[in-house]
């Protein structure tokens, strides 16, 4: 396959799942002999991590969707780099990418990561976008429902880096003074209402009293730190954790009460470590979790059903191990290498087409 010069755009100012996907993709493309150039916001975590990995990086302020100054600078980079394709990874860079490629023949690929329908499908979703990448069938269906042609959308599930065989689990019980026989139910990601953080109170309160006493909620992500009581369950906010693999390996089950989810890479991450998830049946999560096999899916918003599923995993150790083993096997279908290979094929198609 011809070496591809790919210009990646991402305007994110924080480190979340989308930025992680951009970095994994750029690294994967480089490993396959291509030449990625990443354009991000100055001092953003993505730019810093990409620089640390030795990737070609440019920092450009992107203050609004239709920021003409930013678009001109991106266009100049596109021309100087002689980009074969431009790939926009978030909503703002989608608009800026459109401005940058206007009047040129450079193909534009846009990734959409959210499962709710686009607000409008005018200019941004017009024919100048050569191909859309949806990270799940749920995302694709939401786009098609708004009139975007299905032939213009390629479903490529997000990928994760598979864990190292010798990952050492973080000993949260010793660190936090929790009993040795306590069961740690972890939550991972942005601690926002969208991710269901406000559902925890009802979920904890719905657990039987004896289960509440032996359970601990551990929240990995966000900025809050310190101990708390959530629904009668002793809990701890760990804040943002850099060594997330070791931190995740130290929990017993994953609780993922997200209200909306394009796919859910934090769920895949836990599954790679043999940790079974409990999640609401929303967005792309059914494409990851096989209910009653590699985890539990419960009706959206039903906190009682969520608590019942968590209760089963907390109380039944053999079941937890069985589902954890199946989760680990299932997660192998979502490796970053597979995501990179499929995206490479999309580039090849729009370049040759």
- N- to C-terminal Cα distance for the chain? 15
pLDDT band of residue 165 (cuts 50, 70, 90) is: confident
Q: Which pLDDT value is given to residue 163?
A: 81
Average pLDDT, the chain: 95
Start-end of H helices in 53-171: 68-81, 91-101, 137-145
Q: How would residue 167 be classed by pLDDT, with cut points 50, 70 and 90?
A: confident
Among 3.30.70.1140, 3.40.50.970, 3.30.390.50, 3.40.50.2000, name the CATH number for the domain at 5-159+335-352.
3.40.50.2000
Query: Tell me, what's the pLDDT at 324?
Result: 97
Tell me: pLDDT of 98 over 80.
yes
Q: Please give the CATH topology (third level) of the domain spanning 172-333.
A: Rossmann fold (3.40.50)
What's the confidence (pLDDT) of residue 178? Answer: 98
Question: Which structure tokens are listed for 339?
Answer: 């995501």
The two tokens of residue 102 are: 């206007």
| Mean pLDDT value of segment 302-328 | 97
Summarised one tens digit per residue, pLDDT across range 21-63 is 999 999 999 999 999 999 999 999 999 999 999 999 999 999 9
- pLDDT per residue as tens digits for the range 212-258: 999 999 999 989 999 999 999 999 999 999 899 999 999 999 999 99
- At residue 139, the pLDDT reads 97
For the full predicted model, state whether its pTM sits above 0.85.
yes
pLDDT value of residue 122: 80
Q: pLDDT-based confidence at 85, cuts 50/70/90?
A: very high
Secondary structure of residue 233 in the 3-state scheme: strand
Contact 248, 275 (CB under 8 A): yes
Average pLDDT, stretch 6-15?
Answer: 96
Query: What pLDDT is recorded for position 6?
Result: 98
Coil, strand or helix at 191? coil
pLDDT tens sequence across 326-342: 999 999 999 999 999 99
pLDDT at 1 (0 to 100):
67
Confidence at residue 189, expressed as pLDDT on a 0 to 100 scale = 84
- Residue range(s) in the chain whose domain bears CATH number 3.40.50.2000: 5-159+335-352, 172-333
Q: Angle at CA 275, nearest 5°, toward 310 and 176?
A: 80
Cα distances from 39 to residues 73, 89, 330, in angstroms, run: 10, 11, 33
Classify 188 as helix, strand or coil: strand
| Structural tokens at position 166 | 């010798």
């Amino acid at each position: 396959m011809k070496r591809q010069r790919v210009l990646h755009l991402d305007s994110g100012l924080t480190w979340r799942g989308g930025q992680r996907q951009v970095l994994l993709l750029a690294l994967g493309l480089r490993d396959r002999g291509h030449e990625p150039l990443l354009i991000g916001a100055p001092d953003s975590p993505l730019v810093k991590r990409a620089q640390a990995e030795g990737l070609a990086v440019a920092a450009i302020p992107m203050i609004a969707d239709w920021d003409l100054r930013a678009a001109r600078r991106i266009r100049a980079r596109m021309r100087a780099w002689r980009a074969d394709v431009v790939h926009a990874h978030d909503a703002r860079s989608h608009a800026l990418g459109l401005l940058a490629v206007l009047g040129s023949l450079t193909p534009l690929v846009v990734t959409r990561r959210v499962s709710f329908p686009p607000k409008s499908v005018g200019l941004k979703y017009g024919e100048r976008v050569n191909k859309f990448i949806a990270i799940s069938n749920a995302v694709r269906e939401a786009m098609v429902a708004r009139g975007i042609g299905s032939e213009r959308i390629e479903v490529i599930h997000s990928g994760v880096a598979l864990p190292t065989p010798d990952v050492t689990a973080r000993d949260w019980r010793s660190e936090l003074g929790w009993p040795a026989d306590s069961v740690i139910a972890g939550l991972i990601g942005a601690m926002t209402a969208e991710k269901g953080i406000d559902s925890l109170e009802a979920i904890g309160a719905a657990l039987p009293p004896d289960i509440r006493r032996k359970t601990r909620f551990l929240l990995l992500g966000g900025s809050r730190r310190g101990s708390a009581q959530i629904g009668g369950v002793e809990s701890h906010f760990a804040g943002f954790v850099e060594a997330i693999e070791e931190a995740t390996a130290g929990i017993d089950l994953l609780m993922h009460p997200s209200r909306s989810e394009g796919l859910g890479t934090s769920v895949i991450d836990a599954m790679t470590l043999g940790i079974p998830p409990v999640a609401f049946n929303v967005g792309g999560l059914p494409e990851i979790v096989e209910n009653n096999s590699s985890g539990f899916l419960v009706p959206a918003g039903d906190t009682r059903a969520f608590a019942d599923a968590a209760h089963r995993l907390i109380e039944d150790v053999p079941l937890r191990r069985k589902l954890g083993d199946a989760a680990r096997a299932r997660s192998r279908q979502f490796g970053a290498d597979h995501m990179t290979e499929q995206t490479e094929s999309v580039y090849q198609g729009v370049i040759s087409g």
